[in-house]
Amino acid sequence: MTHLPYIAASYGLVLGSVLILSLQAVLRLRSARRRLAMLETTRQRRTAS
């Protein structure tokens, strides 16, 4: 393959940044869900008591 370093760098950069963005989105979504669930259970416990 000609120009291999340039091709590898392009694909590496793009796929790397896609991976970072996806990972960040997944983690953010998960922590938001967990936090909301925690808050809702504490509220229910308080209204029940």
Partner 1 sequence: MSGDIFLTALPNSAAGSFLHRFANPGRFLRLSRWLLPLLTVVALVALAVGIVWGLWFAPADWQQGDSVRIMYIHVPMAILASSGYLALAVCGVLSLVWRHPLADLAAVEIGPVGAVVTAMCLATGSLWGKPMWGTWWVWDARLTSVLVLFFLYLGHIALIHAFDEPQRGYRAAAVLAIAGAVDLPIIKYSVNWWNTLHQPDSISLTSAPTMSTSMLAPLFICMIGFSAGFGALVVARVDAAILEGRARQLMTRRLPDQERAA
Residue 19, both tokens: 């991976």
Tell me, what DSSP letter sits at residue 49?
-
**Tokens 């909301």, residue?**
36
Phi and psi based region of residue 2 (left: phi greater than 0; alpha: psi -120 to 50; beta: remaining): beta
Nearer to partner 1, 22 or 48 (CB): 22
State in angstroms the smallest separation of the CB of 48 from partner 1.
Answer: 13
Structure tokens that stand for 43 in this block = 């509220």
Footprint on this chain of partner 1 (rule: CB under 8 A): 1-4, 6-7, 9-11, 13-15, 17-18, 21-22, 25-26, 28-29, 32-33, 35-36, 39-40, 42-43, 46
Minimum separation from the CB atom of position 15 to partner 1 (A)? 8
